[in-house]
Amino acid sequence: MGANNDMPREKALANGLKALSDKELMAAIFSTGIKGKDVFELSADILADNGGHLSIIAAMEPAEFIERYKGIGPAKAITLLAGIELGVRAAADAMTMTDTFVNNSENVYRYIHAKTHGLDHEQFWVIYLKQNNAILDSRMIGSGGWAATAVDIRIIMREALLLRSAAMILVHNHPSGNLTPSAQDRQLTADIVAAAKLMKMRVLDHLIVSDKGYYSFGDEGTMPS
């Protein structure tokens, strides 16, 4: 193994963290391996076990990670998962440093993913917007069970009025990973659109999200008019 691969921290100092592969970043966090595996083998095996998807690893709780990967103790597990979580939060925070404009569903998904990734229960969020579609704020309106959550439309409208919002985007997660809207999802969307119209506000989209992707009512042409 070459010197650069042997020393990810030195490589990061010389070339920046973006020059490191996922395996090298993980090795830098772990610092040492476990019995029978050096730090690079350990990192490579964990990545391969999750299809190379860091988002799957990020969704794990420390206890689950420790149980799944024998030989990794609490210190290593928490250090890795905390590092990934910080990265997710940093990406979301970067979008709040200046006016963030949500002009497509991908922007919305990137913004909200930090709040919903890894959840084992449903949450319903509303992103409130200025007239120019810059984000004013986002509020969690409801939190419920594995398959549903109660949403009070009066609270959505109250928050919109308090924020003097001109428009909003609805988001809720499906922990199951199934992104197909239910009949209840469609009816709730229509009811919120109708309530917003009475307040002269626009509902631009409703996203159903999971760690695997999202469904956009707007993109699919199913947003109530």
Domain ranges for the chain, please list them.
3-93, 99-220
The rounded average pLDDT for each run of 10 residues, N- to C-terminus, in the chain (225 residues) is: 60 86 92 92 94 87 93 94 86 62 86 83 94 90 75 95 95 91 94 95 95 93 92
Q: CATH assignment of 99-220?
A: 3.40.140.10
**The pLDDT of residue 143:** 87
**The pLDDT of residue 179:** 93
The pair of structure tokens assigned to 180 is 């197909």
Continuous H helices in 102-201: 105-116, 153-163, 183-198
In this prediction the pTM is 0.61
**The pLDDT of residue 91:** 73
Distance (Å, whole) CA 117 – CA 121: 11
**The pLDDT of residue 5:** 44
**The pLDDT of residue 7:** 82
Q: CB count, 10 Å around CB of 36?
A: 8
**The pLDDT of residue 1:** 39
